Structure 1
């Protein structure tokens, strides 16, 4: 079995392991920094996507290792604020599920090694993930503390994904250099 085939099988297995979006409305009680920090860990869909964004950035390489997760976090914050302010987005849950599959595929597709493309995908999916979190934030939440906890936890998961992505690059050999 080739290394690319093995990586594709692993990515597909991770994508298929995603459970229903248990990180969404009604599954979290609480309202502070620690609740926000725990939130990304409570839903397998979010956990997989956040780590995969880090993997994707690392597989692109260069500045993208930080820029792709940074774009996700910035858009996630914007999406959360949009939801808190009463905005609406269609197809939030299907988009979150699609993000699992699309990001896993982008990690293994050689033609997706473009930093700008990576940032665009990450930001688009981050907007929907953030919207879901903003929409479900407890009414009694200290929004700033909750958001800060969520961002810190997300950054840690991105870092784990970056480390995993660098290990994957080493395992399969360094793919062609990224287009920044």
Structure 2
């Protein structure tokens, strides 16, 4: 179990380090030419999105039931609402700042083992989901199939949450808990870097 935990930590840190080496934003424009596949790749190819989605899964797993499913369900549902706002052109200030701050805040919550009441955690996740959804939604009208694009980015987001939940399950052991909190710290550091670039 110990070696498995360390291997998982090494894999996540390597993945995060690669993302930090060449940070890419999933909402740089011009990527919504396709349908489902483009939408699916949209959150996965933007490291500012990836760290936040994984952090939501990590935090949910860390908090345990019912947060382990409530937070990862809340995020894509509210993100879809944000996507609709972006698609119809409703302005939302500070998109980049909100997206970058999500990784920092949720990463810190994991690092410091924050255990707020479940409604508070859900509201935090929902607020950040609006920003992520809006960023996706602004590019949706340019897609060949906007509905397929929307379905793709919701499913892509869900899979990233599952990655976070899977890694977060390591909290069942002492070493695993340390690894999960450490991953939260790495995510927070990357979020701080993205936030610095967004300001």
Change (3 A) 1:87 1:138: closer
Offset, 1:19: 5.7
With over 3 angstroms needed to count, the CA separation of the structure-2 counterparts of 1:65 and 1:118, relative to structure 1, is same
For residues 95-135 of structure 1, the C-alpha deviation after alignment (integer angstroms, 9 at most, x for no partner) is: 11111110101113344343222211111101100001111
Q: Give the structure 1 partner of residue 45 of structure 2.
A: 42
Aligned length: 163
Partners of 1:87 and 1:113 lie apart in 2 by: 31
Aligned equivalents of 1:74, 1:37: Cα separation in 2: 16
Alpha carbons of 1:49 and 1:111: their partners in 2 closer, same or farther (altered >3 Å)? closer
Return the offset for 1:20.
4.9
Does structure 2 conserve the Cα–Cα contact (< 8 Å) formed by 1:31 and 1:138? no
Is residue 140–residue 150 contact of structure 2 (8 Å, CA) maintained in 1? no
Alignment gaps of 5+ in structure 1: 1-6, 174-180
The aligned residue for residue 118 of structure 1 is 121
Normalized against structure 1, the TM-score is what? 0.81
Out of 101, 104, 109, the residue aligned to residue 106 of structure 1 is 109
Where in structure 1 do 4 or more consecutive aligned residues deviate above 4 Å?
18-21
Structure 2 segments unaligned to the other structure (5+ residues): 1-8, 179-199
For 1:4, the equivalent position in structure 2 comes to: none
CA contact 1:36–1:149 (8 Å) conserved in 2: yes
Task: Report which of the two has the higher share of helix.
Answer: 2
Superposition TM-score, scaled by structure 2 size: 0.73
